[in-house]
Amino acid sequence: MQSIQIYDTTLRDGTQAEGFTLSSNDKVRIAQRLDDLGITFIEGGWPGSNPKDAEFFERARDLQWKNALITSFGATCRVKGGPEDDASIKALLDSQTSVCTIFGKSWTLHVKEVLRTTLADNLRIIEQSVAYLKANGKRVIYDAEHFFDGYKADPSYALETLQAAVRGGAEIVVLCDTNGGTLPWDLERIIRDLKPVLAHPFGIHTHNDSECAVVNSLTAVRAGAIQVQGTVNGIGERCGNANLMTIMANLQLKMGYQCLPADKLKYLYELSHFVVEVANITPDEHLPFVGKSAFAHKAGVHVAAMRRSPQSYQHVEPELVGNSMRVVVSDLSGRGNLLSKAEEHGVEVEGEEVLPVLNDIKELESRGFSFEAAEASVTMMLKRQEYGYKPPFELVDFFVNVEHRQGRGIFAEAMVKVRVQGELLHTAAEGNGPVNALDNALRKALLGYYPQLGNFHLSDYKVRILDSDHGTEAITRVLIDTRNATSRWSTVGASTNIIEASWRALADSVEYGLMMAH
């Protein structure tokens, strides 16, 4: 298998994404995970641009790296100056990395209007910058910024910039689609025209402004690129960089290239979610291969087919990238969806026994429920169909009162009447709101029988108005997330009465937790 170098720039190019920031410690943690995965190059940042990146390189020097080469990034030297007295070049040397990546201009527009220098001087600073780093014992990767736009504007000059880097001693030149606007057939044509006259190893660096970053990267590999630059989850400036998760999976599973050790591909899902967790951002669960929805099946026809042959609606085995197949329950579900969900949660029901639940789900979803994110509610609906199942409690009545009293302000009080193990219990409790009061009253009634309830904690409470044109008469959907020391589960309720919706979600949550703890 031909090897492809993977060059990760999450710690530098990725941090240019809006809303994505990393501390120096975050960078170290992510770099160590990338190293464990078997990434070839990890670009740590631009040491001359900010103290945080300089600190990262200082810390990286004292760490042991098993697989990756830590790489520093910078620019060619200044116009009308030389590399020997350039602050950016000096910062690259001070970072003490064995590999340095520098970028230079390939597009005449940038040379004349951004650098405001001559075409000849641009060639000089490219060659001299590479040569100076090389003379100081560095391996040099040259990123040809805006290469494809430059080639379209002036093919011969764009080629000259690459040749200047080669003369300086760059071990690889990387063709960059910096604006992200090149389409795959144009990229393929340009590389095909370039290869006979370049005769030097080249890589690819693409952005996703036309949503072609992944396909452009794969196209470049097919055309001879030996290195692919990108980021975890495609995070990056504007619309993002090429998504290395998707690229590595496709290269290794479908195209016959080796980019990671064979036993490491199964950690892609874990790495994808680790990075967003460290960065404290919401994961995109619809990403190919590594999103939770990548192998989630909702349509009843699909699930029925999947139960007979997993290949029927999955292009690869999800376990190969560390993911797993999921069945989503909704009004589009068929019997297979519910049977799969019952099997997943160890509920013993037969084929015909799920039909009442299926009909209930379709009816409830037409009234505003949504069970996609509330699997615990689905599990309880199925469990109640199981022969011999006895619920841990039965609601008889509840009452909620919200008052304003002078000197005390707003407070809420709830009363619940439940039947537990044949005994009728009548309890009341106060709370900082009606749902909190209901929760407190129910717990007060049940704790003597089910002490494990003390470990249940409501971790999230979401309210959504479904038909806002109805004003205060609108249907309200309530989603409750509950957790204990080992698990987290979600339940749903919906009603024109927010208290009724909340009670249903709350009662399902408690019953599910008690069932799982039994």
What are the residue boundaries of the structural domains of the chain, listed by start? 2-261, 296-383, 394-517
Asked if the domains 2-261 and 394-517 are classified in one and the same CATH topology, the answer is no
Please give the pLDDT value at position 353.
53
- Calpha distance 81→75 (Å, rounded): 13
Q: How do residues 441-477 score in pLDDT, each as one tens digit?
A: 999 999 999 998 888 888 888 877 766 566 666 777 7
CA dihedral 81, 86, 89, 91 (to 10 degrees): -170
Q: 63: exposed, middle or buried (C-beta count within 10 Å: 0-12, 13-18, 19+)?
A: exposed
Q: What CATH superfamily classification does 2-261 receive?
A: Aldolase class I (3.20.20.70)
Query: Which band of pLDDT confidence, cut at 50, 70 and 90, is reported for residue 231?
Result: very high
The H or E element spanning position 261 is none
Structure tokens at 351: 């084929």
- Greater confidence (474 vs 214) lies with 214
* Span 42-49, average pLDDT: 90
CATH topology of domain 394-517: Double Stranded RNA Binding Domain (3.30.160)
Lowest mean pLDDT among 59-73, 105-119, 290-304: 290-304
For every residue of 328-377, DSSP letters joined together read --STT--HHHHHHHHHHTT----TGGGHHHHHHHHHHHHTT---TT-HHH
Q: How do residues 91-106 score in pLDDT, each as one tens digit?
A: 999 999 999 999 999 9
Residue 297 Rama label (left phi>0; alpha psi -120 to 50; beta): beta
**Largest interatomic CA distance in the chain:** 92
* Span 165-186, average pLDDT: 98
Structure tokens at 24: 């120096």
Collapsing DSSP to helix, strand or coil, 48 comes out as coil
Q: Decide: 9 and 72 in contact? Cβ < 8 Å.
A: no
Does this model's pTM top 0.75? My answer is: no
